Structure 1
Amino acid sequence: MIQVLVIDDDFMVAKVHAGFVSKEPGFTVVGIAHTASDAIKAATELSPDLALLDIHLPDMNGLDLLQRLREVQPELDVIVISAAREMDTVRKALRGGIVHYLMKPFSWDDLRERLKHYAKTYQPLHAAADQELEQADVNRLFGLGGQNRRPLPKGCSAETMTLVENIVKDASEPISASETAEKLGTSRVSARRYLEYLAEENLAQVNLRYGGVGRPERRYSWNK
């Protein structure tokens, strides 16, 4: 469960944001703070994974608070939620290492999209700090992949790609390259090339299965 700290000086707005977060599966609100001092105390005591941070607070600018929060919780991720639209503010926030910047007013769908992206990309990277990543993992972290696909890798065919897509979509649980290869009647290496392409394009999600000796097994599920 991803633990969230909501930081906003407006009591009603903070309550609404907390309600939005609570509606998203996999997220829970562990605290609400209306001042920077309360936010620092909450971050220290509650150790949240993610903070929703407003820029305008009564006792400290949110960008300055961002750095203070990192001092007490170095692994804390931050989504800025603010009415501030100045380029300088957005630039400083990005350089401060935030994961998203969402401008007020916004809809539940707007926040939900950011939360789902966070859950799918940033949060899993906390699980194993020494784990080796594939290019697909890094691409998702930096928001690459999407509707406009790159050309298929050399030696891959559109027909086989369609078959792989259908296999992943129809799978009742995350599927491995070996299992995909068996269904295709091809080699595991070939099947993995197609699966990694789908992951790099953010069409499939990589799930790591631990157990036994060696590196964890990469399994793939369709991004719905």
Structure 2
Amino acid sequence: MSPEIAWLILRATGQTLHMVAVAAAVGSLVGVPLGVFLATSGKEELFAAPMTNRILGAIVNATRSTPFIILVVAIIPFTRLVAGTSIGTNAAIVPLTIATIPFVARLVESAIREVDPGLIETARAMGASPLQVVWKVLLAEARPGITLALTLTVVSLIGYSAMVGAVGGGGLGDLGIRYGYQRFMPDVMLAVVVVLIVLVQAIQSIGDRLARHFDKRIRPR
């Protein structure tokens, strides 16, 4: 492999990491609170708002059910409004972030709902406010599940970032299409696949270790 190709792969890897990092950070900042709200705003729950819960749930479901590549194309006007262009790495971050928010929200909601309801009742009986219950009970107990949820999100984003290469989004997917496919360079395509696999394996390993660290349950030896 020539130094020029090696440099292209290195640059594309940096672009992919940039897209994934920004989309994961922004998506999590919105998605985690949204997931907590969805898990605590049903009838007779901490922040009871059934109507709002149903409306937000419907929006989340609609966004999640839209195939990502269709979402990318459908929101091109919005992407241009936010990023000033519809192609390139910065433009790709917009649909990646929008796809991340409902994904994170549902995973976090699921992790929150797995917390023992008895702990919530105990905390409320001791006079804890709803916000204290969320912070000191729900989020604390759900940390392993939330960590795995965010890990899955980042892994999925790596795959999505490769898909935006099909519409000029930059990164490893764009490199694989332009050089590996269109220019018939199988070595470049192989290198792109290997880098993607390494990234996924590394992130999954880190996420699994963090989840085990946060899991305080006693395990049989």
Q: Please classify the TM superposition score into its range, dividing by the shorter chain length.
A: under 0.3
The TM-score normalised by the length of structure 2 is 0.27
Length-normalised TM-score, structure 1:
0.27
Greater strand share, 1 or 2?
Answer: 1
Greater RCO structure (CA 8 Å; 6+ sep): 2
